[in-house]
Structure 1
Amino acid sequence: MKRIINTTDAPAPIGPYSQAVLANGFLYVSGQIPINPATGELTMDSIKSETEQVMRNLNAVLLEAGFEFSDILKTTIFLSDMSLFAEVNDVYGSYFETDFPARETVAVKGLPKGVNVEISVVAYKG
């Protein structure tokens, strides 16, 4: 059985997808970009502020489903340019203490709304 997860504390989907889907203890969180859910505006002051907003959005979806960052098994980070990796990694790393999730980071030609970072996660609670 699957359950759709949605919260107003994260941006509404901009296409035909859900913020997250919970199935058999696994939470699949769609890629989050730096949209401030309160204003609907992009947070684009710096790559660090973009990443902070993405992580806040992920946190809101995780919390809505009853999960936390320590439950994350795997993340995928999409960047507009690999030169942003170190700054994104600094912000991203501050959300994890130990037992880091598996991860891949890839540079892509473009991201929704022209942002520089998008992150999706898979979490599990057994």
Structure 2
Amino acid sequence: MRELIVTANAPASSSPVSVATRGNGMVFVSGQMPRDPASGRIVEGGEAQARLSMQHCLEILKSAGSGPSKVMMTWVYVTDLSIKPAINMVFRETFGDQPPARNLVEVRDIGEGALVEISLIALA
């Protein structure tokens, strides 16, 4: 059985819609937060968007009944590989030096104003 959990508070997300899917003891989360939730304006810089996107994904993960300690795998899509060091810093701050801090970064067109999209796989 799969259950789709759509975060109720994702107006700042541009594309795709931030979601969590839970099934077979696992949770898959994908989300981005390029806009400041308070002002709705695009947040400048890869580090700032990575921080907001990480916080956003962890909130979605929590709403799906999981948490950061249960994350097994992560990956990131970016529009510009030059922001990879900023993303790695945010991941190390969140997860320490153990996996999943060692993330896979790929280039992909992820939507207007978005620099960073984070996906997580965790135990439910």
Is the TM value for this pair above 0.5? Answer: yes
The corresponding residue for 2:32 is 32
Q: TM-score, normalised by structure 2?
A: 0.80
Aligned pairs (5 A) from 1:1-126: 1-11=1-11, 19-44=19-44, 46-97=45-96, 99-101=98-100, 103-108=103-108, 110-125=109-124
Q: Where does structure 1 lack aligned partners over 5 or more consecutive residues?
A: none
Once the two structures are TM-superposed, the CA of residue 33 in structure 1 deviates from its matched residue by 3.7
Q: 1:72 to 1:80 in 2, by over 3 A?
A: same
After TM superposition, the score normalised by the length of structure 1 is 0.79
1:35 to partner: Cα distance? 3.5
Overall identity of the aligned pairs, in %: 30
Distance of aligned partners of 1:15 and 1:92 in 2 relative to their CA distance in 1, 3 Å threshold = closer
User: Which residue type is aligned with residue 31 of structure 2?
Assistant: G
Gaps of 5+ in 2: none
- Aligned-residue Cα RMSD (Å) equals 2.5
